Structure 1
Amino acid sequence: MDARVDRPQPGWRSERGEASLSDVHRSITVRPTGPGWRRAAAFVGPGYLVAVGYMDPGNWATSLAGGSKFGYTLLVVALVSNIMAIVLQSLCARLAIASGRDLAQACRDAYPKPVSFVLWLLAEIAIIATDIAEVIGTAIGLNLIFGIPLELGVIITALDVFLILYLQKLGFRWVEALVITLLGVIALCFAIQIALADPDWGQVVRGFAPTTEIVRNPEMLYLALGILGATVMPHNLYLHSGIVQTRAYGESLPEKRQALKYATIDSTVALMFALTINASILILAAATFHKTGQTSVAELGDAHKLLGPLLGLAIAPTLFGIALLCCGINSTVTATLAGQIVMEGFLKIRLPPWLRRLITRGIAIIPAAAVTIWYGDSGTAQLLILTQVVLSLQLSFAVFPLVMFTADRTKMGELVAPRWLVAFAVLIALVIAALNLKLLVDFAGGAG
């Protein structure tokens, strides 16, 4: 499928040009006729790649800390974060389908070169920060399951480039199949652990109800801000707007409307799955650590060590490690794709996937390896926190352009976001900006 579209569009300064991820652009057939479920099935996949970013090792650490310290109370924060994510990811699909551009291409087209360059630089920093978190998470997973030292585990993570290259050669559906399979393994691991933990389901349900205690308790508020501020990943906004275009959904308005409908369903269902995993981590921490008075568990390694004695089964820590390792592998796949989209979209620089992967992974491994060798477990925890702060700093620079583009009728045409959705998205953007600013002030003041 030729990825070049030469037809200029109203509202944009230039032609769309060549799409990012051109080797898989419009490569997945969407049947124009037939049962609705079959057409919907063609769009299943991108949402699950996006969902991976909502359950990375940084989220795990925050959920563990929240559950062990405050029990089920912060489940409502996970729910609110997820609603924000669903709205923003639906806007990504809308931008891609209406304009034929991913978010990086849209920024390059809409802003002057100096502004576009700064946005590219910030996006690259965010992807590197994400990659560092995945390197650490995968290394900890290898350490927990196989006893591989963290320093060696960090180096081993570089080898995943070959897995990704192999799957991309087979076709994009294979990449999606790997991610969905590993997500299934993660879900199974947590289902078994929660069954062993036997949580108080009445308390779980009450945990999803809002409470003023979160605002009144400064420590609880800080953890809540951490969950909210680090949930929406900047790279996911670029990623989703790129991979939605792997579907050959057609160019007519009815076809685009149908594509938007099914892409939104895909991402919404996938993100509800991500909520289930994040809530499971928090519920597991509440039902095991908080219940037994272990209220300061935030380290992934500590959680692993404590689960066996508390649940009374030797397999429990292994399941936790397997889930973490699957999560790390999944995240590396999506970070690679996001890196390609950002570089190609902003700069029109096309690198072979293996070279792009080695560059970002090399940049991530250097600080991760240095910290693990020098400081050990405690250093990796601090580096994880730092990556979340870096991501928070960059997030608004992706969210605000996305909201502005999708609210602009000249750019979006008939698929412009309705006013109620724009108002909701603006509120979300402002809340995220305020929360991230609070996190940065606290971090600078040494409050975390």
Structure 2
Amino acid sequence: MHSSSPSSPSLHDNSSAQTTPQPLTRGQTFAVAPAFRAVLHHFKKHVGVGVICAVGYFDPGNWSVDIQAGASFGYRPMLFVIFLAGIIAIILQVLAARLGCVTGLDLAHHCRLLLHDHPRHPRLVRRLVLYPLYALCEIAIISTDLAELLGSAIGLCLLFPKLPLWSAVLLTGVDVFIFLVIGDPSRTGRPVRFFELVILILVAIVFVCFILLLVKVHPNWPQVFLGFVPSAGLLQTQPNAVYTAIGILGATVMPHALFLGSNLATQDRVSQPPQPLPTPADARRPSFLQRLQRFWKSILYISRSERDDLKDYTTRHGFRQNNSIEFIRAHLGHGTVDVILSLLGLAVPINSAILILAATMFYSSSNNNSIGLVNMHTLMLQSLGTAAALLFALALVCAGQTASITATLAGQIVSEGFISWNVSPFIRRLLTRLISLIPSMIVAISSGGAGINALLIASQVVLSVVLPFVAFPLIYLTSSKTVMSVRTPKVVIQEKLADTPPILSTHPVTPVSDAPVAASITVVERNFDSLDDSIKHSSTQEYGVIDFSNGYILTAVAYAIWVVVLIANVYAIVMLGMGQA
């Protein structure tokens, strides 16, 4: 007769297993900890680039188009168009981030490398392609700054009703001094956290304002969510619906954000910055005049020389060295996630909120009137009260200022990349703002609010025209194996290979002409230090290649997006020229 041990549980007694919660095992704890550390590392080091790029996607130009779309056509199908424009923006912005992270250069510098010294017809390519493309990009920067200037001026007039419009336009020129305080993140090679913090605060104000406005207007949420579903009504309604949808696409995807995103992706956000050398004890402290002179030199510079960092700005594609594989692995994934979350979590919701507000308050089947920013504020003041109108005006000013700061930074990147002119952001912003102020002042004095609204729409048309010319080189460069390949050191074991198990690479190795890798050898990736000394001394060094270019599917999708944007812009221009929109 066998007696059961008291310590062994009965096969039929499982009540304790059902009622007692099981704690995390040691393996589960170890699995959760790395994920938490990765998320914490992302928020500490990498959050900021995506938010700065997302600012351009809800500037005052977007506001005008979204308000008109919501007031004229309601939730459906324009909310789906906003979502589709956001997806297009994500794809192009991710390509820009990949280009900067892998190669270490932004889109503007790559355009110069591609077009400045053409192997067959250098002068012809410069005059017919490079310089016209640079001129188009400068026009896009000025048009962007014009939209931000007008939006900020209108917002100031809404906050201070007694302020004349032309005075508000003039006051927006004061923000040229912003870069004296927040610094210049494009020249350090590292993120300027104070700059990113300023942008984050302004974007947060805009976001909170729209949350409060949506709570106040009480939209029909089932119909709102239904608006994000594709609908055939876009092609079955009046012709202006297609034109408005094209306007949303053109106003959402901003050319300057692609240059900005590719530049910010080149920054090292992981390693520790170099510490300055200690000052010798016998060194004299500079006088006040010397410090003042250094300060003005740091903010007032224009030079034709190359930048003084260690990056390679002159070697042509196929011969230059891209970033190291360690840098790419530390930044590429986090940068991609940051861009996607910022555009989906900020740009798309804010644009959607603007349209939802307009549709909830003003949409009717017989409404074909034009509603601009001023009309929206007036109707909101009458319907929702002073507090809601104040939130709307405050969000407009903050959106205009954030977009204006990033547009100036993008203009600096464009001039440095295309023509190697190093201009301080203060001078750059001053020149760009003066160019924008001249037509704005003339229109504000002569035509008032109606002229300002027309000028705002014209700036978005210009951006729509420029976008295909900027998107094509981006897609071409990121799809090129010559541009996006990274050489990595490899070790070829010549002796004692049978006694040492190979360490296989987890990355595809693609041979190129200037770095051949024999197919009959066994490649061990970056684990040379783990081998014993006898194997080390009997080895030779070669280079393998890791290809970070777009895959076939992504390339096809990107070029399809480019064709759609091109056709949409041509259609919009034709409709506008025929007077049918």
Normalising by structure 2, report the TM-score. 0.69
Partner SS state of residue 72, structure 1: coil
Could you say which residue in structure 2 is the equivalent of 1:123?
137
Could you say which residue in structure 2 is the equivalent of 1:37?
39
Could you say which residue in structure 2 is the equivalent of 1:134?
148
Could you say which residue in structure 2 is the equivalent of 1:144?
158
2:254 to 233, 237, 246: 233
**Aligned residues: CA RMSD:** 1.8
**Is the counterpart of residue 444 in structure 1 residue 444 in structure 2?**
no
The answer as to whether partners of 1:62 and 1:298 remain within 8 angstroms in 2 is no
* Equivalent residue pairs, number: 415
Distance of aligned partners of 1:278 and 1:211 in 2 relative to their CA distance in 1, 3 Å threshold: same
Could you say which residue in structure 1 is the equivalent of 2:378?
305
**Is the counterpart of residue 433 in structure 1 residue 563 in structure 2?**
no
Structure 1, residues 187-234: CA drift from partner, whole Å, max 9, x if none? Answer: 111111111110000100110011111012212111111111221111
In 2: Cα distance, 1:172 partner to 1:438 partner: 42
Comparing 240-249 with 114-123, greater Cα deviation is found at 240-249
In 2: Cα distance, 1:179 partner to 1:256 partner: 26
Could you say which residue in structure 1 is the equivalent of 2:230?
210
In 1: Cα distance, 2:370 partner to 2:130 partner: 41
In 1: Cα distance, 2:412 partner to 2:334 partner: 25
Normalising by structure 1, report the TM-score. 0.89
In 1: Cα distance, 2:458 partner to 2:425 partner: 27
% identity of equivalent residues: 40
Could you say which residue in structure 2 is the equivalent of 1:164?
179
In 2: Cα distance, 1:245 partner to 1:71 partner: 41
Structure 1, residues 319-356: CA drift from partner, whole Å, max 9, x if none? Answer: 11000000111011101100100000001111122111
Shift of 1:417: 1.4
In 2: Cα distance, 1:275 partner to 1:121 partner: 30
Could you say which residue in structure 1 is the equivalent of 2:63?
60
Larger radius of gyration: 2
Shift of 1:152: 0.7
**Is the counterpart of residue 113 in structure 1 residue 126 in structure 2?**
yes
Shift of 1:415: 1.3
The answer as to whether partners of 1:67 and 1:283 remain within 8 angstroms in 2 is yes
Shift of 1:249: 5.2
Could you say which residue in structure 1 is the equivalent of 2:394?
322
Larger RCO, structures 1/2 (Cα 8 Å, 6+ apart):
1
Could you say which residue in structure 2 is the equivalent of 1:7?
none
Partner SS state of residue 257, structure 1: helix
**Aligned pairs (5 A) from 1:36-435:** 36-41=38-43, 42-73=45-76, 74-111=78-115, 112-114=125-127, 115-147=129-161, 148-168=163-183, 172-217=192-237, 218-248=239-269, 251-272=323-344, 273-290=346-363, 296-311=369-384, 313-413=385-485, 414-435=547-568
The answer as to whether partners of 1:72 and 1:207 remain within 8 angstroms in 2 is yes
Structure 1, residues 229-279: CA drift from partner, whole Å, max 9, x if none? Answer: 221111111111112223345743143034111111111111111100000
In 1: Cα distance, 2:458 partner to 2:341 partner: 30
The aligned amino acid for 1:136 is L
The answer as to whether partners of 1:63 and 1:278 remain within 8 angstroms in 2 is yes
In 2: Cα distance, 1:388 partner to 1:420 partner: 31
The answer as to whether partners of 2:184 and 2:425 remain within 8 angstroms in 1 is no
Shift of 1:293: 7.0
Comparing 296-305 with 87-96, greater Cα deviation is found at 296-305
Partner SS state of residue 175, structure 1: helix
Shift of 1:307: 0.6
5+ residue gaps in structure 1?
1-33
In 1: Cα distance, 2:254 partner to 2:220 partner: 31
In 2: Cα distance, 1:44 partner to 1:151 partner: 38
Distance of aligned partners of 1:165 and 1:447 in 2 relative to their CA distance in 1, 3 Å threshold: farther
**In proportion to residue count, which structure has more helix?**
1
Partner SS state of residue 39, structure 1: helix
